[in-house]
Amino acid sequence: MADAVVGDNPARRSHRRRPGTVALAWRQYRLERRMFWRNPSAAFFNFLLPLLFLAGGGAILAGNQDQLNRLIPAIAAMSVMATTFTALAYNVVFLRERGVLKRIRGTPLPTLSYFGGVAANAVTNAALQIGIVVVAGKLIFGIGWPRDWAELIVFVLVGVVSLAALGVAFAHAIPNFESTAAYVNAVFLPVVFISFYVFDSSSAPGFLRQIAEALPLKPLIDGLYGAIVTGSGLGNHLDALAVIALWGVFGIFLAVRGFSWEQHRT
Amino acid sequence: MSDAAVAIDVRDLRKRYGEFDAVRGIDISVRRGEVFGLLGPNGAGKTTTVEILEGYRARSGGDVSVLGHDPGRRSHELRQRIGIVLQSGGIYSHITPREALHHWASFYPHPRDVDEVIALAGLHGAADVRSRRLSGGQLRRLDFALALVGDPELIFLDEPTTGFDPEARRSAWETIRKLRELGKTILLTTHYLDEAQELADRVAIVKDGRILAIGAPRELGVGASHYRIAWRDRDGELVERHTDDPTSLLAQLTADALARGETLDELSVARPTLEDVYLELTADG
């Protein structure tokens, strides 16, 4: 039977069809989406967190339109960070510890297809959350539709890519899944607090302002504020975009360089 | 042996972790269609060796060829032709075996039929259950199934039955025999002697990163040790004698017993097992 010797025939092997990298990325993306929705608690908290912040902030700031105008882009930027940086750090550590990454590494699935699918999943979650926040801003907080869609899309895309890469890179520093929450929150919470505070308060101390401007979240809030509320145009926020993009380059470098497909025994 | 007949060729393989030499010069040659066993205690360097062949680890020295490829280069073509059952590999919690197999099948140019693989791995009743609800034995079957779905020529099995109950082991052995019948080449690591004896055409006994003996399980047994003859004497004591020449010893024992008008109760003649060889070879000191 010819089947038994297929592997011994290089001529026949040479015109085997190689499944396309993009097609495989698409399949991986669909799998990631399905897995995401099947974990109800993760899906729930992923979308509940920004809504809770919106509800809480909205209740406190009710009637103060200027403050509400600043709340929406801040929550939107935080959502981007939660769906990319936080979610990917969790995901990578979990899959690494479970041995899923190692198993995938042993198959012909191209690395690019795998990460393409994973990244597209994060982008989808970020887009869904931005959508929720923007719609809530319009319907509940009277902010109106975003003034500058181009700026919104550019900032969300650059923000998602940068923070996703940083999340994967940060996973390298997390030793095991049990400690993931501690590690992630040790970064996420201070960054959110400093960025929100500096964005909101003109009287913030200079050194805090400098720190916040150098981190990726505050520039992202500035960009989204411009896009959603003022419509001042992308040109006015190029320096903010540059800061986020620089973090992105740094994040991609670290994410690729130190990536580990398996849990190291300690 | 011609190249086409050799699936794996390893010459003087070495692996060093810092100051520790995990593999210290291993030579093996696995023929196509053969089930080759790496047998040894924990920490012998079996998994390190296999993970170098699978492309997970870089070697420190030596030459390695897997289906004509250097696994260290991690070529896409090689990964299409091998299947890997890791010692412990996980899967998404919320995926069913059938979904996982369909997904995995899409990585390969000529996958096997998913239903056929489910049957082959013995996953019938569990194919549509989410993996977090599967038992340990069912998850191991899924490991097998995922390694088979790409229809690989060469399959690596790293301790495929560790932690199994006897029934689950039997059924895993059954699957491995079926793979052999399909013409697959299999490299198996195990620290169970009976497993190596049951499944492998040839066995290499590994300890401290070196091969102590290599050969067919029965050859290894005959070469190294003695026949064991045992019986129960008149006082009910178990008596044991070892010899290289069981024929004459038996003749002498039975003649003496008959002359005394006694019987040799529970008389048994045992060929040396792989276990005897293994214990002899791996004994410290």
Instruction: Kindly report, residue by residue over A21-65, the tens digit of the pLDDT.
Output: 999 999 999 999 999 999 877 777 777 877 888 888 888 887 788
Closest-CA residue of chain A to B6: A8
> Quick check: B123 and B147 in contact, CB under 8 A?
no
Tokens of B127: 């194919």
In chain A, what residues touch B95 (CB-CB under 8 Å)?
A: 31, 34-35
In chain A, what residues touch B88 (CB-CB under 8 Å)?
A: 99
Do residue A107 and residue B104 have CB atoms under 8 angstroms apart? yes
Sequence-distant (≥ 6) Cβ neighbours of residue B200 within 8 angstroms: B35, B36, B37, B39, B188, B217
B54, B86, B106: residue with CB nearest A24: B106
| pTM assigned to the model | 0.83
Give how far B129 is from chain A: nearest CA, Å.
13
Chosen from A104, A105, A260 to mutate, greatest number of chain B CBs within 10 A: A105
Do residue A102 and residue B86 have CB atoms under 8 angstroms apart? yes
> Quick check: B154 and B8 in contact, CB under 8 A?
yes
The model's confidence at residue A12, banded by pLDDT at 50, 70 and 90, is: very low
pLDDT > 50? residue A155? yes
Tokens of A12: 């026949």
Enumerate chain B positions whose Cβ falls within 8 A of a Cβ in A. 4, 32, 54-56, 67, 76-77, 79-82, 84, 86, 88-95, 99, 103-104, 106-110, 130, 146, 150, 153, 182-183
**Highest averaged pLDDT of the listed ranges A112-121, A227-236, A255-264, B244-253:** A112-121
| pLDDT for B50 | 95
Q: How far is B110 from A228, CA to CA, in rounded Å?
A: 50
The model's confidence at residue B136, banded by pLDDT at 50, 70 and 90, is: confident
Do residue B79 and residue A6 have CB atoms under 8 angstroms apart? no
Q: What is the mean pLDDT of chain B?
A: 88
Closest-CA residue of chain B to A96: B90
The model's confidence at residue B243, banded by pLDDT at 50, 70 and 90, is: confident
Q: How far is B195 from B172, CA to CA, in rounded Å?
A: 10
Residue with tokens 């495929």: B160
% chain A with pLDDT above 70: 92
pLDDT > 80? residue A8? no
The model's confidence at residue B60, banded by pLDDT at 50, 70 and 90, is: very high
Helices A21-38 and B97-105: crossing angle in degrees, nearest 10, is 160
The model's confidence at residue B249, banded by pLDDT at 50, 70 and 90, is: confident
* Higher pLDDT, residue B111 or A235: B111
CB atoms within 10 A of CB B162: 16
Tokens of B139: 């998850």
% chain B with pLDDT above 90: 54
CA dist A55 to A60, B107, B278, Å?
9, 45, 69
Residue A37 CA to chain centroid, in angstroms? 17
> Quick check: B48 and B10 in contact, CB under 8 A?
no
Judged by DSSP in three states, B161 sits in coil
Angle at B115 between CA B109 and CA B116, to 5 degrees: 75
Sequence-distant (≥ 6) Cβ neighbours of residue A128 within 8 angstroms: A47
pLDDT > 90? residue A1? no
Q: Chain B contact for A142, CB < 8 A?
A: no
Do residue A105 and residue B56 have CB atoms under 8 angstroms apart? yes
Least confident of A40-49, A64-73, A109-118: A40-49
| pLDDT for A5 | 40
Give how far B30 is from chain A: nearest CA, Å.
15
Give how far B6 is from chain A: nearest CA, Å.
10
CA dist B59 to B49, B53, B155, Å?
9, 9, 20
> Quick check: B143 and B85 in contact, CB under 8 A?
yes
Which helix (DSSP H) or strand (DSSP E) does residue B43 occupy? Answer: none
| pLDDT for B272 | 67
Q: How far is B135 from B141, CA to CA, in rounded Å?
A: 10
Judged by DSSP in three states, A142 sits in coil
Sequence-distant (≥ 6) Cβ neighbours of residue B178 within 8 angstroms: B120
| pLDDT for B221 | 61
> Quick check: B207 and B176 in contact, CB under 8 A?
no
Pairing of strands B154-158, B185-190: parallel
> CA torsion sign, B284 to B50 to B105 to B5?
negative
Find the DSSP H helices in chain B.
Answer: 46-54, 76-81, 97-105, 114-121, 136-148, 166-181, 193-199, 217-224, 246-260, 274-282
Q: With a CB-CB cutoff of 8 Å, which residues 21-50 of chain A face chain B?
A: 24, 27, 31, 34-35, 38-39
Mean pLDDT of A118-126: 91
Chosen from A1, A14, A34, A102 to mutate, greatest number of chain B CBs within 10 A: A102
pLDDT > 70? residue A3? no
Length of chain A, in residues? 266
Closest-CA residue of chain B to A30: B103
Q: How far is A173 from B143, CA to CA, in rounded Å?
A: 29
Length of chain B, in residues? 285
Cβ-based contacts under 8 A for chains A and B: 81
Mean pLDDT of A13-17: 48
B4, B92, B150: residue with CB nearest A35: B92
B97-129 residue pLDDT tens: 999 999 999 999 999 999 999 999 989 889 999
pLDDT > 60? residue A14? no
Decide: residue A254, CB within 10 A, 0-12 exposed, 13-18 middle, 19+ buried. Answer: middle
| pLDDT for A222 | 93
CA dist B68 to A13, B4, B23, B38, B134, Å?
13, 8, 22, 21, 38
* Higher pLDDT, residue B102 or B41: B102
Tokens of B263: 């019987």
In chain A, what residues touch B110 (CB-CB under 8 Å)?
A: 6, 16
pLDDT > 90? residue A100? yes
